[in-house]
């Protein structure tokens, strides 16, 4: 918003985070964001504080961007932070204000928050609450903010709609469409979008199993499907499945809310999407165990990737870390490398071993698992890496490397939804083949 020309104050309850942001430091990895924050903190257009009353007195539009994590022991969203922020903003108003919800919430939340605003705001002031869901992708959030693919405004009046169109004048002028709707529809847009994307991923992963059994290649199949404009190629990459702080949480919250509303078929569909996704993790664990002859005990496993996807250091519900931790619990010596997420991963799973490079993660490995599709991994030299391993076995759980090139370099390569070609290990290579190894090489 500062880049769009507005004066902005960010509020957080964590003094350390506010101090870091005030100095131009970003507490997470997001390409392009550090430069923007440093630039606008220096210009004075952007500042940060822990004083909500100060920020509320300063601003005309108040965005609520707090988290809605899952409740403990339930798939339902925890709305405590959203409700507290709404109540505090309303109570702190010193002049008429527009409160804009951006957090991902269950449908029906906005109506309850409007009651909170009415009860908490000063009687002589006008406080309006609307919903403007965010559609930011981690790793591409800056571009998604400055050039969004759509702007959704829910529950607006003519006055609040005019204000929001003024705020978003720059992207609107460049052609971004604006969807004006009621409050419940706006609340459903984000979770429905995430549920649909999750369904695409689980669909192609279900078809991947068919491909394996039929001897087909799911990657080529997805390319063919993607040429259909009604389907599109995005989110049709078969593999380890989705994770992160949005898709798993959002489909479970929508499933819970659908059950509350009596939408049984929607809840059942989302249940299947979730189960297919989680089963992919076990599939990769089983592949790793098979590649090591039936047990990973005391086997060294190199894991490439910790973040739930590339271009982020987010490891929330990361399939990669889930697989790595599961193999560690089975007695494997797991060595993890990620270009950006090693620090956040180490804080969440300190018992794993972390490497500083691809080479270090692969050295002496009995099997290598590629679990996050960073470009660095895809561009690695299979010939040079083969010499570092004890056994040149690659499980490409993201189907992202050139499998033929790796096989030509002497690797046994397997993926999800593809049928690996027989591997012939180079003569004279320092490789001790067991019966299980030979079965793996020719399956």
Per-residue pLDDT reduced to its tens digit, 62-116: 999 999 998 988 999 999 999 999 999 999 999 999 999 999 999 999 999 999 9
| pLDDT number for residue 420 | 60
Residue numbers annotated as active site = 246
| pTM of structure | 0.88
pLDDT for 224 beyond 90: yes
Position with higher pLDDT, 51 vs 428: 51
Collapsing DSSP states into helix, strand and coil, what is residue 342? helix
* Higher per-residue confidence, 425 vs 183: 183
The correct CATH number of 280-442 out of 3.40.50.2300, 3.30.70.360, 3.40.50.2000, 3.40.50.720 is: 3.40.50.720
Is residue 427's pLDDT more than 80?
Answer: no
Q: How far is residue 206's CA from residue 222's CA, in Å, rounded to a whole number? A: 12
Q: Which CATH number fits domain 190-278: 1.10.760.10, 2.60.40.420, 1.10.1040.10, 3.40.190.10?
A: 1.10.1040.10
Angle at 138 between CA 137 and CA 142, to 5 degrees: 75
Domain ranges within the chain, ordered by starting residue: 8-182, 190-278, 280-442
CA-to-CA distance for 312 and 353, rounded, in angstroms?
Answer: 20
Residue spans of alpha helices (H) in 306-371: 319-329, 342-348, 358-362
**Which residue reads 């049709």 in tokens?**
236
Please give the structure tokens belonging to residue 367: 């099997």
> Which H or E run includes 10?
strand 8-11
- Per DSSP, the three-state class of 112 is helix
Do 8-182 and 190-278 come out as alike in CATH topology?
no
> How many CB atoms are closer than 10 A to CB 63?
21
Q: How far apart are CA 79 and CA 85, in angstroms?
A: 10
pLDDT at 428 over 70: no
Identify the three-state secondary structure at position 280: helix
Q: How close are the terminal C-alpha atoms of the chain, in Å?
A: 55
Q: What is the pLDDT of residue 72?
A: 87
Beta-bridge partner residues of 4: none
CATH number of 8-182: 3.40.50.720
Say whether pLDDT at 423 is over 70.
no
Give me the pLDDT at residue 429, please. 38
Share of the chain above pLDDT 70, in %: 94
Distance from CA of residue 46 to its chain's centroid? 27
Could you say which DSSP state residue 371 is in?
Answer: -
Sign of the C-alpha dihedral, residues 337, 282, 403, 427? positive
Q: Flag whether pLDDT at 435 surpasses 70.
A: no
């Amino acid at each position: 918003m500062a880049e769009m020309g507005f004066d902005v104050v960010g509020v957080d309850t964590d003094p350390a985070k506010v101090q870091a942001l005030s100095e131009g430091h970003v507490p997470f990895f997001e390409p392009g964001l550090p430069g923007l924050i440093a630039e606008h903190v220096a210009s004075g257009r952007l500042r940060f504080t822990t004083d909500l009353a100060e920020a509320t007195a300063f601003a005309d539009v108040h965005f609520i961007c707090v988290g809605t994590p899952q409740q403990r022991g339930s798939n339902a969203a925890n709305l405590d932070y959203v409700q507290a922020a709404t109540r505090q903003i309303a109570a702190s108003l010193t002049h008429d204000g527009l409160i804009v919800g951006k957090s991902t919430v269950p449908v029906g939340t906005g109506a309850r928050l409007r009651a909170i605003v009415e009860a908490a705001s000063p009687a002589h002031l006008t406080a309006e609450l609307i919903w403007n869901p965010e559609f930011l992708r981690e790793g591409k959030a800056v571009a998604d903010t400055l050039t969004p693919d759509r702007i959704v405004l829910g529950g607006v009046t003519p006055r609040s709609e005019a204000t929001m169109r003024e705020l978003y004048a720059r992207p609107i002028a460049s052609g971004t469409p604006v969807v004006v709707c009621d409050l419940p529809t706006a609340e459903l847009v984000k979770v429905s979008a995430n549920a649909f994307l999750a369904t695409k991923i689980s669909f192609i992963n279900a078809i991947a199993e068919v491909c394996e059994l039929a001897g087909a290649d799911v990657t080529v199949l997805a390319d063919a499907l993607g040429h259909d404009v009604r389907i599109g190629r995005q989110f049709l990459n078969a593999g380890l499945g989705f994770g992160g702080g949005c898709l798993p949480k959002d489909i479970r919250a929508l499933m819970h809310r659908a059950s509350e509303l009596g939408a049984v078929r929607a809840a059942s569909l989302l249940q299947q999407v979730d189960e297919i996704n989680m089963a992919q993790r076990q599939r990769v664990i089983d592949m790793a165990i098979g590649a090591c002859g039936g047990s990973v005990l005391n086997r060294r496993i190199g894991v490439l990737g910790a973040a739930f996807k590339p271009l982020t250091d987010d490891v929330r519900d990361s399939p990669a870390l889930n697989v790595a931790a599961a193999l560690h619990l089975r007695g494997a010596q797991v060595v993890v490398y990620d270009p950006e997420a090693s620090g956040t991963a180490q804080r969440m799973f300190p018992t794993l071993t972390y490497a500083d490079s691809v080479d270090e993660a692969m050295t002496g490995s009995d099997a290598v698992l590629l679990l996050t599709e960073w470009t660095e991994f895809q561009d690695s030299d299979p010939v040079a890496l083969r010499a570092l391993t004890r056994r040149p076995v690659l499980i490409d759980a993201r189907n992202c490397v050139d499998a033929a090139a790796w096989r030509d370099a002497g690797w046994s390569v397997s993926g999800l939804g593809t049928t690996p070609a027989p591997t012939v290990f180079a003569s004279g290579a320092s490789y001790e083949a067991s019966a299980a190894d030979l079965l793996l090489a020719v399956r």
